[in-house]
């Protein structure tokens, strides 16, 4: 830029309103992805239980899965383990 032109900070920072809106939008997008991923283990457990039932077998104990990325452990509750 010329000597009399925009200051360096103004040139590189751009519009502060756009930056704040962009940051908020990215944060909401990450939150939506996290919530979508949070439902995945319950769907997987439900599908596994459905496959076992349709194949003609009976589930005798809980189905336990662990997320490799976060290390969270999810456990299904069978009818036998409730009583």
60 in any annotated domain: yes
Q: Residue 55's Cα: distance from chain center in Å?
A: 31
3 in any annotated domain: no
Task: Give the end-to-end CA distance of the chain in Å, rounded to a whole number.
Answer: 76
62 in any annotated domain: yes
67 in any annotated domain: yes
2 in any annotated domain: no
1 in any annotated domain: no
How many domains, in total, are found in the chain? 1
pLDDT (0 to 100) of residue 38: 82
pLDDT (0 to 100) of residue 2: 53
pLDDT (0 to 100) of residue 67: 86
Summarize the confidence of residues 60-64 as an average pLDDT: 87
Helix (H, G, I), strand (E, B) or coil at 26: helix
Q: Which domain holds residue 37?
A: 8-82
71 in any annotated domain: yes
37 in any annotated domain: yes
For the record, the structure tokens of 57 come out as: 């077998």
Residue 15 phi, psi dihedral angles, 5° rounding: -80, 120
| Average pLDDT for the chain | 82
């Amino acid at each position: 830029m010329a000597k009399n032109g925009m200051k360096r900070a103004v040139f590189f920072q751009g519009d502060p309103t756009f930056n704040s809106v962009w940051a908020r939008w990215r944060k909401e997008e990450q939150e939506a992805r996290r919530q979508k991923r949070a439902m995945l283990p319950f769907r997987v457990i439900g599908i596994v239980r459905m496959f076992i039932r349709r194949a003609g077998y009976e589930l005798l104990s809980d189905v336990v899965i662990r997320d490799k990325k976060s290390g969270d452990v999810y456990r299904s509750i069978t009818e036998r383990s409730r009583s």
